């Protein structure tokens, strides 16, 4: 279970009701531009995939990813499967594992620097300082998530988060995944706010009892939901849900 010991004491004034006790965030299209992933990270990994696997196939994480790929497509060459899944942007764990490992090398080499929407680092850091626990849930592997938040223009932001969840806990459009995350966080689902740009993900979270908000970034062309609260940035999320916000 994730440690929440850094949370601030509850308000003693009984007239104050804190309706959100933790925030779970998506990455792509929510705090980073879709183009930063689609046009930079995906091509970077795709162009290096075959050579990376050849050089590292005996390492445990790569060997496990290849075994998972073979299990999913027994008749196919696992590298060919990985490349095809990459072309189709399939949310499958072995591909996400390999992408995360390749990106880790890219960040370490200085080839990659994560791009965030301007409001995101400021708001996330402020929420954390004010005692609001933060968590990440993305179809990208935990390795990829840590790479993105660890290599930003604002520095390493991984310390803002109490946990990182990926497809190993379940698909993002499956309500059971959110129930499992709430169990790991250690809070009732109704006290956790999930932020995403994808309506189907928000539907799944809401079905599990989460509070939800769609982050609609004009630059990404996100279509506003008719089933969930909508915010154009994290400052608006703060206002909608009475979360702490910078002056």
Which helix (H) or strand (E) segment holds residue 83: the answer is: helix 78-88
> Is 4 in contact with 185 (CB distance < 8 Å)?
yes
Give the angle 244-245-246 at the CA atoms, nearest 5°. Answer: 135
Q: Assign 38 to helix, strand or coil.
A: helix
Instruction: Name the residue ranges covered by the structural domains of the chain.
Output: 22-32+114-240, 36-109
pLDDT (tens digit, 0 to 9) for every residue of the chain, 247 residues total? 444 434 333 333 322 345 899 999 999 999 999 998 899 999 999 999 999 999 999 999 999 999 999 999 999 999 999 999 999 999 899 999 999 999 999 998 989 999 999 999 999 999 999 999 999 999 988 999 999 999 998 899 999 999 999 999 999 999 999 999 999 999 999 999 999 999 999 999 999 999 999 999 999 999 999 999 999 999 999 999 999 887 7
- Give per-residue pLDDT as tens, 9-32: 333 332 234 589 999 999 999 999
Question: Treating both helix axes as pointing N-terminal to C-terminal, what angle do 78-88 and 60-72 enclose, rounded to 10 degrees?
Answer: 80
CATH fold for domain 36-109: 1.10.720
For position 196, what pLDDT does the model report? 98
For position 224, what pLDDT does the model report? 95
Which top CATH class is 22-32+114-240? alpha beta
For position 153, what pLDDT does the model report? 86
For position 9, what pLDDT does the model report? 34
Q: What distance in Å separates the CA atoms of residue 204 and residue 199, rounded to the nearest whole number? A: 9
For position 146, what pLDDT does the model report? 94
Which pTM was predicted?
0.85
Which of 200, 182, 199 lies closest to 21 in space, CA to CA? 182
Q: What distance in Å separates the CA atoms of residue 137 and residue 75, rounded to the nearest whole number? A: 32
């Amino acid at each position: 279970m994730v440690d929440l010991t850094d949370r601030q004491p509850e308000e003693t004034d009984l007239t104050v009701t804190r309706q959100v006790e933790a925030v779970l965030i998506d990455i792509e299209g929510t705090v980073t531009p879709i183009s930063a992933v689609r046009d930079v990270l995906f091509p970077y990994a795709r162009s290096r995939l075959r050579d990376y696997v050849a050089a590292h196939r005996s390492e445990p994480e790569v060997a496990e990813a290849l075994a998972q790929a073979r299990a999913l497509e027994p008749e196919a060459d696992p590298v060919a499967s990985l490349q095809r899944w990459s072309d189709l942007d399939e949310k499958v764990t072995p591909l996400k594992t390999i992408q995360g490992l390749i990106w880790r090398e890219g960040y370490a080499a200085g080839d990659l620097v994560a791009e965030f929407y301007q409001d995101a680092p400021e708001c996330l850091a402020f929420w954390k300082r004010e005692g609001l626990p933060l968590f990440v849930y993305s179809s990208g592997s935990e390795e990829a998530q840590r790479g993105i938040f660890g290599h930003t223009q604002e520095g390493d932001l991984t310390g803002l988060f109490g946990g990182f969840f990926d497809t190993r806990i379940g698909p993002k459009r499956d309500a059971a995944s959110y129930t499992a995350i709430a169990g790991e966080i250690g809070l009732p689902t109704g006290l956790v706010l999930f932020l995403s740009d994808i309506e189907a993900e928000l539907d799944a979270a809401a079905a599990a009892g989460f509070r939800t908000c769609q982050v609609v970034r004009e630059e990404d062309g996100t279509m506003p939901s008719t089933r969930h609260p909508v915010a154009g940035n994290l400052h608006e999320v703060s206002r909608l849900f009475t979360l702490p916000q910078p002056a």
